């Protein structure tokens, strides 16, 4: 075995996930050196690396505790959702500034009841009242679903869809997980403080960041992108203190669902454009189907893949 | 744990470990021998399978040795893995028996 061949094998082994490389890299090299590898072995190594990355990505390797993921989401989800109230706060601030708050029509803030209920849920989870919080979370989701039929001037937007998805997952988490008390043990006070800071930063981005800029030929709402970047970054930071890193990463991913829906909507509307996004089935798949599939896969819920071991 | 059929490489790796602990290259040789040279596993396939089997607690690391300056890790079949292999053997035996019975009837009837 020449040094060149060994270097080539090491380069291929470098494609493997870091934990696997550290645990088995030298061992695999030894096996390869014993078996006089050819080009098929090289291809086989690449295939193995892809398979292991996919297993890590989809959480099929048993490293994710789904109950803990839901416990963290049950605690931090209601706090994160408060970010979505910024639109209504902006309206209230504008009318207050112009001295017309008393005359502000309620149609300016049609979704205010949703965020008001989520504010109650946030308070309840901080006091560890899981069951009551679950009831209010479902109530908030129902109100969220009913609003478009009751408020004639309010239409679904990508933001609302992302927040509704997170709201539904949070209600499920509060109903069927160990609850916010367990979540608090996992993320600690630091996780809660970081989440609240994330909400504050994301709201500030929405209110104060510059609006439209052109990236090439595509318009970009800078303030919205900053909101969702802050959300995704804050979710990662808040979940970093979860002892099991994979569980923490999955929880962060679920909390960042509105950012996923936002990015998908941007691709669908701005880049792909009509007529594709006019088709309701396409829109539902992009905005609901893909994020839900990612969450299920990311948390190892789609386990039949594993059962064919 | 599941009742689904095992893929052939998984079945052969478990079978290779049934007689006792083996290191990676030893498993490759054993699989080739068990399958009478029909199946030749490669390192990428073997370690992808081992990653899954260890995560499922069907296989565990038995011991490690350093030979010629290189790490050699031995793997063993766990009780859970042995039970899974036994289930698979029973399933295959039942299928084989059913196939044999039908083939015997077919040949006896002279329709072959």
Residue A167, domain member (yes or no): yes
Residue A63, domain member (yes or no): no
pLDDT at residue A296 in the model: 65
Residue A157, domain member (yes or no): yes
Chain B residues interacting with chain A (CB cutoff of 8 angstroms)? 2, 4-7, 10, 23-25, 28, 42-48, 51-53, 55-56, 58, 67, 70-73
Contact B52, B6 (CB under 8 A): no
Name the residue with tokens 């800029």.
A213
Q: Are residues A197 and A130 in the same domain?
A: yes
Find how far residue B38's CA is from the centre of its chain: 14
Q: Are residues A272 and A253 in the same domain?
A: yes
Mean pLDDT of A268-293: 69
Residue A269, domain member (yes or no): yes
- Work out the pLDDT band at A307, boundaries 50, 70, 90: very low
Name the residue with tokens 């367990």.
A182
Q: Does the pLDDT of residue A158 top 50, yes or no? A: no
User: 3-class SS at B59?
Assistant: strand
Q: Are residues A297 and A243 in the same domain?
A: yes
Counting the structural domains of chain A, the total is 2
Q: Are residues A134 and A254 in the same domain?
A: yes
Q: Are residues A53 and A74 in the same domain?
A: no
- Work out the number of other CB atoms within 10 angstroms of the CB of residue B81: 22
Which residues of chain A make contact with B9, given a CB cutoff of 8 A?
Answer: none
Residue A64, domain member (yes or no): no
Asked if A33 reaches chain B (Cβ–Cβ under 8 Å), the answer is: yes
Average pLDDT, rounded, for chain B: 89
Q: What is the DSSP string of A169-197?
A: HHHHHHHHSS-HHHHHHHHHHHHHHHHHH
User: 3-class SS at A212?
Assistant: strand
Q: Say which of B5, B25, B70 has its CB closest to residue A35.
A: B25
Q: Across the interface, do A30 and B43 touch by the CB < 8 Å criterion?
A: no
Q: Does the pLDDT of residue A78 top 80, yes or no? A: yes
pLDDT at residue B74 in the model: 95
Q: Say which of A26, A35, A48 has its CB closest to residue B71.
A: A26
Contact A194, A234 (CB under 8 A): yes
Residue pairs spanning A and B at CB distance below 8 A: 83
Q: Across the interface, do B56 and A62 touch by the CB < 8 Å criterion?
A: yes
Q: Across the interface, do A45 and B44 touch by the CB < 8 Å criterion?
A: yes
Q: Which domains does chain B have, with CATH numbers?
A: 8-108 (1.10.10.10)
Q: Does the pLDDT of residue B26 top 90, yes or no? A: yes
Per residue in A3-58, pLDDT tens? 888 888 999 999 988 888 888 888 999 888 888 888 888 999 999 998 888 777 66
Contact A118, A167 (CB under 8 A): yes
Q: How many residues can be counted in chain B?
A: 112
User: 3-class SS at A301?
Assistant: coil
Strand order in the sheet with B70-77: B22-23, B70-77, B59-67
Closest CA to A208 of A229, A193, A232, A227: A227
pLDDT at residue B5 in the model: 81
Contact B17, B27 (CB under 8 A): yes
* C-alpha distances out from residue B16 to B7, B12, B75, Å: 14, 6, 10
Per residue in A234-249, pLDDT tens? 999 999 888 877 788 8
Which residue is closest to A33 within chain B, CA to CA? Answer: B25
Smallest CA–CA distance, residue A242 to chain B, in Å, is: 21
Picking from A38, A58, A78, the residue at the C-terminal end of a domain is: A58
Sign of the alpha-carbon torsion through A278, A279, A280, A284: negative
Which residue is closest to B65 within chain A, CA to CA? Answer: A27
Residue A11, domain member (yes or no): yes
Contact A87, A203 (CB under 8 A): no
Residue A303, domain member (yes or no): yes
Q: Does the pLDDT of residue B57 top 70, yes or no? A: yes
Contact A189, A200 (CB under 8 A): no
**ipTM, two decimals:** 0.81
Q: Could you give the CA distance from residue A112 to residue A60 in angstroms, rounded to a whole number?
A: 40
Angle in degrees, CA A91, A95, A99, rounded to 5: 170
Find how far residue A204's CA is from the centre of its chain: 20
User: 3-class SS at A159?
Assistant: helix
Smallest CA–CA distance, residue A129 to chain B, in Å, is: 36
Which residues of chain B make contact with A49, given a CB cutoff of 8 A?
Answer: 44
Q: Are residues A76 and A209 in the same domain?
A: yes
Find how far residue A226's CA is from the centre of its chain: 15
Share of chain A above pLDDT 70, in %: 79
Q: Are residues A188 and A49 in the same domain?
A: no
Q: Are residues A85 and A36 in the same domain?
A: no
Which residue is closest to A13 within chain B, CA to CA? Answer: B44
Share of chain A above pLDDT 90, in %: 30
Q: Are residues A32 and A145 in the same domain?
A: no
Residue A179, domain member (yes or no): yes
Domain that holds residue A234: 69-307
Q: Are residues A119 and A178 in the same domain?
A: yes
Q: Are residues A164 and A302 in the same domain?
A: yes
Angle in degrees, CA B91, B96, B100, rounded to 5: 155
Interface-testing mutation among B10, B26, B43, with chain A (most A C-beta atoms within 10 A): B43
Q: Are residues A23 and A91 in the same domain?
A: no
């Amino acid at each position: 075995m020449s040094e060149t061949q060994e270097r080539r094998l090491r380069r291929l082994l470098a494609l493997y996930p870091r934990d696997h490389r550290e645990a088995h890299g030298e061992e695999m090299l030894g096996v390869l050196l014993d078996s006089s590898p050819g080009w098929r072995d090289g291809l086989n190594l690449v295939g193995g690396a892809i398979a292991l990355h996919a297993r890590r990505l989809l959480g099929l390797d048993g490293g994710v505790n789904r109950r803990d993921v839901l416990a963290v989401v049950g605690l931090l989800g209601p706090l994160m959702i408060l970010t979505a109230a910024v639109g209504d706060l902006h309206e209230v601030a504008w009318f207050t500034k112009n001295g017309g708050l008393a005359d502000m029509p309620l149609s300016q803030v049609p979704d205010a009841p949703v965020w008001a209920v989520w504010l109650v849920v946030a308070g309840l989870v901080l006091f560890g009242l899981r069951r009551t919080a679950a009831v209010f979370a479902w109530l908030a989701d129902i109100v969220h679903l009913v609003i478009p039929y009751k408020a004639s001037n309010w239409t679904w937007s990508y933001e609302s869809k992302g927040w509704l998805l997170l709201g539904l997952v949070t209600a499920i988490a509060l109903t069927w997980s160990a609850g916010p008390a367990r979540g608090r043990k996992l993320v600690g006070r630091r996780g809660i403080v970081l989440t609240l800071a994330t909400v504050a930063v994301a709201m500030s981005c929405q209110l104060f960041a510059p609006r439209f800029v052109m990236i090439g030929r595509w318009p970009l709402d800078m303030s919205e992108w900053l909101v969702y970047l802050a959300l995704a970054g804050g979710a990662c930071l808040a979940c970093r203190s979860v002892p099991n890193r994979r569980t923490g990463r999955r929880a962060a991913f679920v909390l960042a669902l509105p950012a996923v829906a936002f990015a998908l909507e941007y691709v669908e509307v701005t880049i792909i454009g009509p007529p594709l996004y006019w088709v309701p089935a396409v829109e539902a798949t992009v905005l609901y189907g893909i994020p839900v599939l990612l969450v299920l896969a990311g948390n190892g819920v789609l386990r039949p893949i594993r059962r064919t071991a | 744990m599941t009742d689904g059929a095992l893929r052939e490489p998984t079945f052969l790796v478990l079978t290779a470990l049934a007689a006792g602990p083996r290191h990676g290259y030893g498993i490759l040789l054993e699989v080739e021998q068990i399958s009478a040279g029909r199946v030749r596993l490669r390192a990428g396939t073997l370690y992808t399978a081992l990653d899954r089997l260890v995560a499922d607690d069907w296989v565990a690391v038995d011991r490690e040795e350093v030979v010629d300056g290189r790490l050699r890790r031995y793997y063993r079949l766990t009780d859970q893995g042995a039970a899974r292999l036994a289930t698979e053997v029973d399933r295959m035996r039942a299928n084989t028996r059913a196939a044999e019975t039908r083939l015997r009837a077919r040949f006896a009837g002279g329709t072959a």
